[in-house]
Structure formats: C-alpha cells, structure tokens
Amino acid sequence: MACGTATPAVDGPSAEVRTLTGAHTRIVWVQHDGNDPRLHGVDLTLMGLDSDDGRGERAILERRGSYVKPMITATGDRIVYSTRPEPGPSEVFILNWDGTGLRKIADGFGMALWTDPADGREWLYMGLDPEKMDTNTVVRFPLDDPSRRETVWTKTKISMEGFRLSPDGRSASGLVPWPKAAVIELPNGRMRVLGNGCWTSLTHARGPLFWYFDGAHRNVTLVDVDSETRWMVNVNGAPGFDGAEVYHPRWTNHSRVLVLSGPYNQGGRNQARTGGPQVEIYLGRFSADYAAIESWAAVTSNAAGDSHPDAWIDLADSTLPQRPSGPIGPEHVRTARKAGGGDASSDAGRLLVNVQLTKPGPIPTPEEILPYRNALVVNEYKVVDVVSGRYRGKTMQIAQWAIRDSRVLPEARRVAGAGATLAVERYEAHPELEGERLIAGSQSKRPLYYDVTAGR
C-alpha cells in the first residue's frame, strides 16, 4: 500500500469505510462547534480518520485556527489546506498525515491537486487573488517547488470551490462564476457551460464525467461530457437523513466514491447554512452505472459539526472496479438519448389537472435564500380531476415559483383548500430549473411536477 502496512480495522466506522471503498482509506475534514459550516471562523480543528490504524477519528492538528478545503495528496501521506482569516490574506499550508512537518507554501487559496501521469509529479492549482470564494487568476506549480508558477486561467472569474482536474490535466470543472457550471479547457481555453448549480466536480468513468449540485442541496446532476447525456442522482439518502439537505459534496480519487457532510435539518429556509452538531461526514458509493448511490458509510460520530471533507483511497489496494464494465446512466436516459430526445411534450409529461391545495410549502424571505435570487416552493395538492393526460395518484407534489428577482410573488402565498386548474410537467424535464433554489418541506416518493400555467 502507498502509505505502508497497517492492520485493517475490524469494527466501527473505520470498518464500514473500508467495506465501502474496498481499500485502505483516509478522510480529512474540518470540525467546528456546529455554528460555522462554511468555515469563516478561526475556532476550527483539522480532523482525520485512517481506516486501518485503529485510532478512529482524531485531531491531526490540535491547535485551533482557520482551516478551509483540506486536500489529501495522491500518495495519501500529506494534507494541503488553506486559511481564510478575516482580516488578512489567505495562505496555503502543507503537513504530513501524522501532523508533523507543517509549513507554509504560498499566499493564496488551494483549489486542487493534480498528478502528472508522465512523471508522477504533483501540482497545486491555486487562486492567486482570493475574493470571498472567487478568484480572477488561477496559477499552478509543483507542490514542492512553489517558485515555478504557471498561469492557467484568467478568462473569467472562477469559484475556488468545485475546481477539479481531469486525469490528463487538460480540463477542469468549475463555476465561471456561480451559478454557471462548466468544464473548461486549460490553459485559458474553451468553456462548456453544462448547467446551473454549485459544488462542481469532475472524474473519469468511461470518459469525462461531470456533476453539479442542485439548489435543493439534495441532488447532483451527472453529465457524460462527451455525449452531454445527463441524469440526476439523489445524494441525501444516507440512513437517518429523512430527506434533509447535504453539503460539501466532492468526488474522491475513486470515480465510484463521493464524500459529503450532512444531515442539515435544523430548520430555516437555507438549512445547509444552519449547521448543527448533528452534521457528520459520510462516504457514498455509486452503482456500477452511476445511476444511484448504492451504499453509504458514516465516517464520523461526534457532538460537533463537521465540514469540507476530502477522501483518499489506495487505488492499488481497492477491490472496487475503477472503470465501468457496462453503460453508464439510467436506462431510460440512455434510451432517450439514442432516440434523439423524442417529442418534448411527451418527455415533459404534460398534464392538465383540477387540484385542491392541501399542504402549502413554507415560503422563505428573499434574505433567507441568498445568494440565490429565485426560489420555488413545493406545494402538495389533492387531485380532483385529470382534464388531460394520465395520472393515477390521489395527490401531487407541484413546484411553483415563490420568489423571483429577490421578490416574493403575491400569488405565492396560497391558502389550503383553494382550488385551481393547472398545467404541469415533470420537474426533471426542465433543466433550466436545476440551479434554482427549491424549498421542499418534506420528502415524497411521488414524482415532482412543475407548474407551467403562467410560464416563467
């Protein structure tokens, strides 16, 4: 193994982690008091877990301070993290997994690590002029030779979250800026905007596979970059989450495994910002076709809040296949792609229904959804009559606009019992909504519809 021999754990979270990944695994994250999930403060602790050392979760650095976006190097034996002190410049540091050898690398914000397949040298990609979570300039340099800087992106402002390199280093995922989720060619090449969202990531399955996180903080939209075939995967299905929001989703160095934090369920209209001591770190494993998350493993169990995880899996040791043996994406998505998309109206599942409101969804204030400017609310209706189309259910979940351009719409405040005739289509048939804030008071197994009666 890349980090030396160790005795695999036989029980507890470490064993669950090893079972899910099929290999020696290390996870790093930042711990707070439950009130700082976005890591703006300086009362933070850098934490880690090694699946094979028998120690469980532990502090890598006992000293409290500013720690943001920790990343594990390709060999699994070092950690790179950034600071975000206020006031003061962001800085990038490196240390060994055991907490020794701490040293500053540069002024800036560490965005990604990449290993050159030609010579095995590891490079750090860094935001040179951090402004909140965006930068105007991305540079790179060998991790152990910061003087050899090369500029790789100045074409647009870009978020320092969600920047991840392809294996060949020729492209990266990114927000250019939020909410435009794109794959960019480096250096300063073409931009392909593939959707609207946040927390982008990039890996390699059959070819480049990209995702962006949705406004509901519950799903990622996966895009097969070569064909632009796309599908949504629910990522808040870990045991006990009960439909809660999640945050900080990130692909690991294994394309089948992601890491994230959750559940965020402490109330409010933007729950991912509320934090709470119930938030833990989880690993999730994609099914072989990347159509769903097939398994979860809890990494942590503590009375604090946990954020910004990264995970390293010893690929040489893993029993989990790194490349799919069959097609990727849900079968119905692949079928539609082969058919050229089919008729838009039939794909959308257009219905005309007479409905009665039974459970209005909670309407946030414009301030509560910032930085989003628009929001939809999911309302529950009793289906009185289906005027056209087919629908067998007795109730229907319908997403309707509540806030547009930071203004609560007058028609958004609906009263239970009110009746209406609505034209609705399947929510998934409207990719333009993928990056919008979606407020759902509860989780339902029924398909979600979108009210198209008034248009947008």
> Which amino acid, 49?
L
Measured CA to CA, the distance from residue 409 to residue 316 in angstroms comes to 55
Question: What pLDDT is stored for residue 333 in this prediction?
Answer: 67
Residue 443's pLDDT band, with cuts at 50, 70 and 90, is low
Phi, psi at residue 295, to the nearest 5°? Answer: -155, 150
Q: What is the DSSP letter of 405?
A: T
Q: Which domains does the chain have, with CATH numbers?
A: 12-338 (2.120.10.30), 344-451 (2.40.50)
User: What is the percent of the chain where pLDDT is above 90?
Assistant: 69
* Single-letter amino acid, residue 417: G
What are the pLDDT digits (tens) for 374-428? 999 999 998 987 878 889 899 999 999 999 999 999 989 887 877 788 889 999 9
Give the separation between CA 215 and CA 229, rounded to whole angstroms: 20
Per-residue pLDDT reduced to its tens digit, 215-228 = 878 888 899 999 88
Amino acid at 283: L
Q: Is the C-alpha dihedral spanning 91, 260, 73, 184 positive or negative?
A: negative
What are 198-214's pLDDT values in tens digits? 999 999 998 999 999 98
Question: Which residues contact residue 69 at a Cβ distance below 8 angstroms, ignoring those fewer than 6 apart?
Answer: 81, 82, 109, 110, 111, 160, 161, 308, 310
Q: Tell whether omega for the bond before 179 is within 30 degrees of 0, i.e. cis.
A: yes
Is 90 exceeded by the pLDDT of residue 2?
Answer: no
User: Checking DSSP bridges between strand 437-439 and strand 375-388, what pairing results, if any?
Assistant: parallel
Residue 258 · residue 251 · CB < 8 Å: yes
By C-alpha distance, which of 152, 196, 156 is closest to 176?
Answer: 156
54-108 per-position pLDDT tens digit: 999 999 998 999 999 999 999 999 999 999 877 778 999 999 999 999 999 999 9
- 9 backbone φψ class: left, alpha, beta (φ>0; ψ -120 to 50): beta
Cα gap 271→316, rounded to integer Å: 39
pLDDT digits (tens, 9 = 90+) for 225-261: 998 888 888 898 899 998 788 999 999 999 999 999 9
**Structure token pair of residue 144:** 């152990």
The mean of the pLDDT values for the chain is 90
Report the share of the chain in percent with pLDDT over 70: 93
Helix (H) or strand (E) holding 337: helix 331-338
User: Which tokens go with 451?
Assistant: 């009210």
pTM: 0.80
Q: Average pLDDT, stretch 252-281?
A: 92
Would you say 225 and 210 are in contact if contact means Cβ atoms under 8 Å apart? yes
Mean pLDDT in residue range 29-57: 93
Helix/strand/coil for 343: coil
